[in-house]
Structure 1
């Protein structure tokens, strides 16, 4: 059919609005959205015709395209994805998953009015921080605590409160870059603190701190380099030494411990990672850490330490701009309650359970997934093999967690093309490619998603 005729045959919007399929959509979708989707569909077909990408079409084809476009418009931009990459705290995929108590708390809070800033005993305005402060103190051993919206905000608030227009002394080897190209020096500068770098990248001594202390020194800052390791000819100042120096000079010691580890992973065969409780026991004045990394909760920046300093931060006007909402508080409370019993935390907090669950458990699960895949897919080869998962989120970078994975091979698709097709599945499946092989790591896959993965491969068979 000629191009001019194809253009003339394109239906009018008013005509399509009379179609039963479109009328059915009008019952559940705003008319404005339906009309816009129809217009965009017609425009798309017009472009196809003008660019010679189509030689014929039917009204049914147009209506089918309309329905696909409308489904995209009506669906949330936030989508469930299946993490088959084996990175437990995957920053791009939302970091830590919430535990059951955390989810229940959130639903209860958002589905009802609540006492966010209301003291039920006194019948007057209260503090939103009171809901979690006692719990944080009990878990960490700190004198006082407060919470802001992320750890970068926590560091900025601490420095703005204790060190604005003053100097913050920090080792050059600890000036790390965190996620999204945010750098500790930039956060410090924005807080109003003046950065004083001491030592070298690999070696810093106590005298480096001592020699740079003056009447304008506000804090001694230590940043835990949780997302990388410097090995070899190195020297660092211990927390004990720094705390002693800070006490002698009457200068607060602040530690950004980053990942917020609350249990000693060395008990379970991992390399020791400094815990929040250890920092408090060693006398650090203020400690900051994340809520959605090793702690396994929602995004939050937790500030704990000496009451005199925390109280100053609560009075800082910047706190209002950085405060967290009712949903985050509810999720954080639900997560922290598990830490009252370490066994409960490991069993019920998804991040901890994924890290510490046994390899043998995942072998059985991998065998189950492989069986499902082989039962539904004929043109792929699936192989069970041992491999390693990663903690992720800039935490414990040198740790490899033994696990079982499924290797998927296809004569039809290259590993890169298969990765793309799975990523574009209705429920995206995010895999990893290692040594030019497609890997499905069951440590980060839930059993409930085995059928979804098998169906995704089935569509490609």
Structure 2
């Protein structure tokens, strides 16, 4: 679908399509599902099934993909975070499951490096857990982590996100946690691609890892993947859909429909069967086109970057010299959004990720031909 096509379902509500050069962000709808995914979801909607059986079967498929003991489809990655912290507090104890979010008498502290605190970690607390920080916003030592471990610690959380500091690193975090018989839970929402990350973190020793299903995988936006140790996944499932209890548990508001489960599984199958290198090549080709269109603008550096920890795929990044006289990066973003069609660029200028004075143009959701529109609009704004 090209940028100017306006589906009737949105037209009648007055909602315009946008060009998404900001990445697989929730605020722009995640990703575009393939035709096969939509067809599978439609087929799934036509019959009733035993949801416990469906969850367990889908979980086995996820476990195989992630090389984990067990897996679970969740209602987005944030839901997986809630369920991870809940699982670490309750285990498979039905009484504790029913008690949440009241955590009195339980191990209820989730430890996290201060430099990895973020707007999304509230999900860990939604279950009733308490977040306990270690280190500073810039760095941490092994001693910092060890000093905050107590008989109230239920888990150590680690977050992988662009421009986030590693603290003592995931490997050392796992080592210290396991020496103290504490599980490590990992938020890796946007870490697919590469597909090797499905099993890399489990192979490192992480006890549970959460991925978004509606980003690089191309599944329903409100879908996620939770993989890890069988006892913890069983606990997460109990906290999610405890159908044998008289009390709706803490994960009940995050239940996953049969359509979303089938959509996620289908998207995952298609993703695993796709050519990753071919997709990377397309991102690079679009990036080079934009760079070539803007490269002669004075006092502006344009670099094509692909640092795995900070950039989601190959993308052009605009760096403004100190003597830049044109519009500010913030003003350019604003005018790109206010144009027709609206174009959303990367959030480089935001204190959220700590990099200011640049514009990054994320290729992951830029459809064929949209790079021409992006370059043309930027060319005009940057020369004004």
**Does TM, normalized by the shorter one, top 0.5?**
yes
Answer yes or no: is the 8 Å Cα contact 2:107–2:151 preserved in 1. Answer: no
Q: 1:389·1:400 contact (CA, 8 Å) conserved in 2? A: no
Task: Decide whether aligned partners of structure 1 residues 132 and 417 sit closer, same or farther in structure 2, where only a CA change above 3 A counts.
Answer: same
Q: Do the aligned partners of residues 286 and 126 (structure 1) sit closer, same or farther apart at CA in structure 2, a change above 3 Å counting? A: closer
In structure 1, C-alpha distance between the alignment counterparts of 2:159 and 2:360, rounded to whole Å:
32
In structure 2, relative to structure 1, the CA distance for the partners of 1:325 and 1:213 (3 Å cut) is same
How many Å apart are 1:331 and its aligned residue? Answer: 2.3
Q: Is the 8 A contact 1:287 1:305 kept in 2?
A: yes
Name the structure where helix makes up a greater proportion of residues: 1
Question: 1:399 and 1:101 mapped to 2: Cα distance?
Answer: 25
- 1:397 pairs with one of 298, 310, 315: 310
Does residue 289 of the first structure (1) align with residue 211 of the second (2)?
yes
Q: Mean alpha-carbon deviation: is it higher for 355-364 or for 323-332? A: 355-364
Match of 1:412 in 2: none
Alignment pair present for 1:155 and 2:90: no
User: Measured at CA, do residues 78 and 161 of structure 1 come closer, stay the same or move farther in structure 2, by a change above 3 Å?
Assistant: farther
| SS of structure 1 residue aligned to 2:68 | coil
The 2-side partners of 1:340 and 1:242 are apart by: 30
Q: Which residue of 1 aligns with 2:201?
A: 279
Counterpart position of 2:109: 168
TM superposition shift of 1:252: 2.0
Residues 104 and 344 of structure 1, relative CA distance in 2, 3 Å threshold? farther
Q: Is the 8 A contact 1:199 1:205 kept in 2?
A: yes
The structure having more radius of gyration, on CA atoms, is 1
Counterpart for residue 235 of structure 2: 312
Structure 1's 430 and 170: CA in aligned 2 closer, same or farther, altered over 3 A? same
CA contact (8 A) 1:154 1:303 kept: yes
Determine the structure 2 residue equivalent to 1:228: 163
**Is the contact made by 1:338 and 1:345 (CA closer than 8 Å) also made in structure 2?**
no
Q: Secondary structure at the match of 1:87?
A: coil
What pairs up with 1:52-451 in 2 under 5 angstroms?
A: 75-83=12-20, 86-110=21-45, 113-115=46-48, 117-118=49-50, 126-163=52-89, 164=103, 165-178=106-119, 182=120, 184=121, 186-219=122-155, 221-230=156-165, 235-239=167-171, 241-263=172-194, 275-299=197-221, 300-316=223-239, 317-341=249-273, 343-344=274-275, 353=279, 355-357=280-282, 359-360=284-285, 387=302, 396-398=309-311, 401-402=314-315, 423=338, 425=340, 428-430=341-343, 444-447=365-368
Decide whether the 8 Å contact of 1:260 with 1:291 is kept in 2. Answer: no
Q: How many angstroms does 1:323 deviate by? A: 1.5
Structure 1 runs not aligned, ≥5 long: 1-70, 119-124, 266-274, 348-352, 368-381, 406-414, 457-461
Contact 1:258 / 1:288 at 8 angstroms: preserved in 2?
A: yes
> TM-score by structure 1 length?
0.56
Q: How far 1:191 sits from its partner (Å)?
A: 1.8
Q: Displacement of 1:161 after TM fit?
A: 2.8
TM-score, normalisation: structure 2: 0.66
For the residues of structure 2 that align with 1:429 and 1:93, how far apart are their CA atoms? 11
Cα distance between partner residues in 2 of 1:439 and 1:215:
44
Shift of the 256–162 alpha-carbon distance from structure 1 to 2, 3 Å rule, reads same
**In the alignment, is the contact (CA less than 8 A) between 2:288 and 2:304 conserved in 1?**
no
Q: What CA distance in whole angstroms lies between the structure 2 residues aligned with 1:421 and 1:309? A: 45
Q: CA, structure 1 residues 77+320, in 2 after alignment: closer, same or farther (shift >3 Å)?
A: farther
1:149 Cα deviation (Å)?
1.5
Residue 361 (structure 1) shift = 6.2
Shift of 1:430: 1.8
